[in-house]
A and B are shown apart, each in its own frame.
Chain A
Amino acid sequence: MKKFFALLLAAMMVLGICAASTAEEITTANATDVWAEKWADVDTSEHVVINYMTTGDAPTMGANAEMLAKLNERLTEVVNAEINIVWISWTDYLANYNLRIAAMDGSIDLIGSSTDWLDAWPNSKRGGFLELSPEMLQKYAPVTYATVPQNHWDVCTWNGNIYFIPEDNYSQWTNHGFIYRKDWAKEAGLENGCETWADLTTYVKYVKEAYGDKLIALWDTDGTAYPAGGYICSFAKWRSIDGLASGAIWGGYLDDPYKINCLYLEETDRLVEYAKLMKEWDEIGVWPTDVLSNTGADNRLEFRQGKTALEQHHTQTWTGIVSPKASTDNTMYLDDEDADAGFYYWGKEAGYVTRDLVTHGVAAVSAASKHPERTLMVYDMLRNDKTCYDLFNYGLEGRSYAIDENGYRYTPDTYVADNDSISTNWWWGRNDDLEIPSSAMNWDEINALYDEYDKIAVMYPYEAFVFDNSMVQSYINQCNETYNTYMKYICFGQYDVTPEEMVAEFQDALRAAGVDEVTAELQRQIDETYNK
Chain B
Amino acid sequence: MQKAVPQKVINNRKPSVGRTLYQNKTLIIMCIPAIIYFIAFSYMPLPGIYVAFVNYNYRAGIFGSPFIGLRNFEFVAKSGKLWMLTKNTILFNFAFIILDNLLAVVVAILLKEIQSKMFRKVSQTMMFLPYFISQVLVGLLVFSLLNSDTGFLNVVLTRLGMTPLRLYKNGDAWPLIIILVHLWQKTGYNSVVYFAAIMGIDDSIIEASMIDGANGWQKIRHIILPSLRPTIVILLLFALGGIVKGDFGLFWNLVGRNPTLYQKVDIIEMFVYRATVSDFNFSTASAVGMYQSLVGFVLVLTVNTIVKKIEPDYSLF
Which A positions have Cβ atoms within 8 angstroms of B?
Answer: 94-95, 98-99, 101-102, 104, 119, 122, 126-128, 222-224, 245-246, 288-290, 292-296, 367, 470, 473-478, 480-481, 484-486, 488-489, 494, 512-514
Contact = CB atoms under 8 A, between A and B. Distances in A.
6 contacts: A94-B280, A127-B57, A127-B58, A223-B257, A288-B148, A480-B278
Given A122-B279, A293-B257, A477-B276, 20 more contacts: A104-B59, A127-B57, A223-B257, A245-B279, A246-B278, A289-B166, A290-B143, A292-B260, A293-B147, A293-B255, A294-B147, A295-B139, A296-B143, A470-B55, A474-B78, A475-B78, A477-B279, A486-B259, A488-B257, A488-B258
A481 B59 contact: no
Contacts of A102: 58, 280, 282
B259 A292 contact: yes
Nearest to A366: B58
Question: What are the 3 tightest A-B residue pairs by CB atom distance, in nearest-first order?
Answer: A474-B75, A127-B59, A290-B168
B58 A128 contact: yes
Contacts of A486: 259
Interface of B: 55-60, 71, 74-75, 78-80, 139-140, 143, 147-149, 166, 168-169, 255-261, 271, 274-282, 284
A43 to B, nearest CB: 26
B258 A292 contact: yes
Contacts of A289: 147-149, 166, 168-169
B52 to A, nearest CB: 14
Contacts of A489: 259-260
B257 A224 contact: yes
A494 B257 contact: no
A474 B58 contact: no
A489 B255 CA distance: 15
Nearest to A243: B278
A290 B277 contact: no
Given A295-B256, A473-B75, A481-B271, A126 B57 contact: yes
Contacts of A494: 169, 260
Given A126-B58, A289-B148, A478 B79 contact: yes
B148 A290 contact: yes
A514 B280 contact: no
A309 B23 CA distance: 77
A292 B258 CA distance: 5
A477 B77 CA distance: 12
A471 to B, nearest CB: 9
A231 B177 CA distance: 37
Contact of B275 (A122, A224, A478): A478
Contacts of B278: 94, 245-246, 477, 480
Nearest to B140: A296
Nearest to A496: B169
B76 to A, nearest CB: 9
Contacts of B74: 474
Of B57, B258, B261, which is in contact with the most chain A CB atoms at under 10 Å from its CB? Answer: B258
A127 B62 CA distance: 12
B257 A119 contact: no
B145 to A, nearest CB: 12
Nearest to A367: B59
A292 B279 contact: no
A475 B281 CA distance: 14
Contacts of B59: 104, 127, 367
A368 to B, nearest CB: 8
A485 B259 contact: yes
A514 B58 CA distance: 29
B150 to A, nearest CB: 9
Contact of A292 (B60, B168, B282): B168
A104 to B, nearest CB: 5
Contacts of B279: 122, 245, 473, 476-477
A477 B57 contact: no
Contacts of B169: 289-290, 494
B143 A94 contact: no
A484 B284 CA distance: 20
Contacts of B275: 477-478, 480-481
Nearest to B57: A127
Contacts of A477: 75, 275-276, 278-279, 284
Contacts of A478: 75, 78-79, 275
A485 B71 CA distance: 25
Contacts of B280: 94-95, 98-99, 102, 119, 122
B75 A101 contact: no
A223 B261 CA distance: 14
